């Protein structure tokens, strides 16, 4: 494999923040400087910083002491697609423009030879588009949702599951004390990974996910049957993108200036009202929201972030480009960005975790 002539690299963190981002920044910077003697640049606030030319040198000092810190020292942004960026005209009207050439010009001014993009499906879609324009790119899969196509897991997911599971553990005691139905809404957008994994780890009685539209009557029948056998409380975990059969997801708001204008949220409140009305049982809704994105990364996410960051630099220096670093069957590798562009990974009916949950009598409302 031919070795690369890369001497200067840049890194950005796009999309929503998550624990483990700083582990990637640390690994990229230290690997590039220590192993390959490269110059490293950080780009502030994801693609927005690239558009606005907010690019600065990263050093060993910048990348030290950040392994266990949540968030990202570079900042992030989930509203700045360089290929469809909102720009105000002289008349005050907002129009979408392709400003990707400006981004490439800004990188050229710093003599950047390759770009490392850390993010989820939206970030990787733009990364693939930059690759098509001739900019060597490596992608690093990041999202608490675990929905990046092509990789078994993403860093940030493990910490989010831990946070959600901790909340479920706490809600068990109050649910038991008051004989209530506790409905816990977790993130995940159009994939139910957080709901599935935290639901199993937290002993949820019902798990509702986007992949399996639920029947509200079956959910109600299930919690009523639990009461008949002495189970006076139930825990229901619902992904924000879950929906009833023949129904729609609950949308909290829309933002037309965002690459993903639909903002989900509120399904827990809807379910609480419906279940309370149909069963007569006391119900409460808890929406975990952004607490799932924050906090100290778990050891697993620190390890994944470090490995992915190292691999991104190592692959580039070995002549590999325009790929996403992945973990497949616990083995590191990479897949072309063009093959995963615009795709997400969802939970399948035969997933081992789904089968295990069903075996211990967890209901999916179907």
Cα distances (angstroms) measured from residue 22 to each of 74, 77, 274: 9, 15, 42
User: Residue 142 has what DSSP assignment?
Assistant: B
* Predicted confidence (pLDDT) per residue in 197-211, tens digit: 999 999 999 999 999
Q: What is the mean pLDDT of the chain?
A: 94
Domain span at residue 174 reads 159-293
Q: Which pLDDT score, from 0 to 100, does residue 257 have? A: 63
| 8 Å CB contact between 275 and 219 | yes
Q: What is the pTM of this model?
A: 0.94
Per-residue pLDDT of 111-134, as tens digits, reads: 999 999 999 988 999 999 999 999
Alpha carbon distance 204, 192 (integer Å): 14
Domain count, the chain: 2
User: Which SS3 state, helix, strand or coil, does residue 192 take?
Assistant: coil
Identify whether residues 282 and 301 lie together within a single domain.
no
Q: Render pLDDT for 305-357 as a digit per residue (tens, 0 to 9).
A: 999 999 999 999 999 999 999 999 989 999 999 999 889 999 999 999 999 99
CATH of the domain at 198: 3.40.50.460
d(CA 51, CA 14): 13
Confidence (pLDDT) at 2: 54
pLDDT of residue 97: 93
Give the angle subtended at the CA of 72 by the CAs of 70 and 73, to the nearest 5°: 115
Does residue 345 fall inside a structural domain?
Answer: no
Looking at the structure, do residues 109 and 242 belong to the same domain, yes or no? no
202 lies in the same domain as 148 = no
> Which pLDDT score is estimated for 256?
67
Q: How far is CA 127 from the centre of its chain?
A: 16
Please indicate, yes or no, whether residues 193 and 228 belong to a single structural domain of this protein: yes
| pLDDT above 80: residue 261 | no
What's the confidence (pLDDT) of residue 298? 97
Q: Within 13 Å and on the Cβ side, how many CA atoms surround 236?
A: 31
Q: Are residues 227 and 283 in the same domain?
A: yes
Alpha helices in the chain (DSSP H): 21-34, 46-51, 100-109, 121-132, 157-178, 193-201, 216-228, 267-279, 299-317, 337-340, 352-359
Report which of 214, 210, 217, 208 is spatially closest to residue 275, judged by C-alpha positions.
217
**Nearest by Cα to 241 from 268, 203, 220, 273:** 268
User: Could you tell me what percent of the chain has a pLDDT over 70?
Assistant: 98
Per-residue pLDDT reduced to its tens digit, 44-99: 999 999 999 999 999 999 999 999 999 999 999 888 899 999 888 888 888 889 99
150: pLDDT strictly greater than 70? yes
Rounded distance, CA 206 to CA 202, Å? 11
Catalytic residues: 145
Neighbours of 179 (CB within 10 A): 13
- Residues constituting the chain: 366
Q: What are the pLDDT digits (tens) for 266-296? A: 999 999 999 999 999 999 999 999 999 999 9
């Amino acid at each position: 494999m031919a070795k690369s002539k890369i001497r200067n690299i840049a890194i950005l963190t796009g999309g929503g923040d998550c624990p483990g981002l700083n582990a990637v920044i640390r690994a990229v910077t230290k690997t590039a400087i220590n192993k390959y003697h490269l110059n490293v640049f950080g780009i502030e606030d994801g693609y927005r910083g690239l558009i606005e030319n907010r690019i600065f040198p990263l050093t060993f000092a910048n990348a030290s002491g950040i392994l266990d810190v949540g968030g990202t020292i570079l900042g992030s942004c989930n509203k700045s697609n360089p290929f469809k960026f909102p720009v105000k005209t002289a008349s005050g009207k907002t129009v979408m423009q392709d400003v990707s050439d400006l981004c490439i010009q800004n990188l050229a001014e710093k003599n950047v030879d390759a770009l490392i993009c850390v993010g989820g499906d939206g970030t990787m879609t733009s990364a693939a588009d930059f690759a098509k324009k001739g900019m060597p790119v490596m992608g690093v899969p990041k999202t608490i949702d675990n929905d990046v196509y092509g990789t078994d897991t993403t860093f940030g997911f493990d910490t989010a599951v831990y946070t959600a599971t901790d909340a479920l553990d706490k809600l068990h005691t109050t649910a038991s004390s008051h004989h209530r139905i506790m409905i816990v809404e977790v993130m995940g957008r159009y994939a139910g990974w957080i709901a599935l994994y935290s639901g199993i780890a937290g002993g949820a009685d019902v798990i509702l996910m986007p992949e399996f539209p639920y029947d509200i009557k079956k959910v109600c029948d299930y919690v009523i049957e639990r009461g008949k056998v002495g189970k006076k409380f139930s825990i229901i975990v619902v992904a924000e993108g879950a929906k009833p059969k023949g129904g729609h997801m609950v949308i909290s708001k829309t933002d037309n200036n965002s690459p993903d204008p639909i903002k989900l949220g509120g399904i827990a409140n809807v379910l609480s009202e419906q279940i309370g009305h149909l069963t007569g049982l006391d119900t409460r809704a808890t929406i975990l929201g952004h607490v799932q994105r924050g906090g100290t990364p778990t050891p697993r996410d620190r390890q994944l972030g470090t490995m992915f960051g190292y691999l991104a630099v190592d692959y580039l220096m070995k002549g590999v480009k325009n790929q996403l670093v992945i973990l497949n069957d616990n083995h590191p590798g990479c897949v072309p960005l063009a093959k995963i562009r615009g795709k997400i990974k969802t939970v399948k009916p035969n997933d081992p975790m789904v089968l295990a949950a069903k075996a211990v009598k967890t209901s999916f409302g179907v």
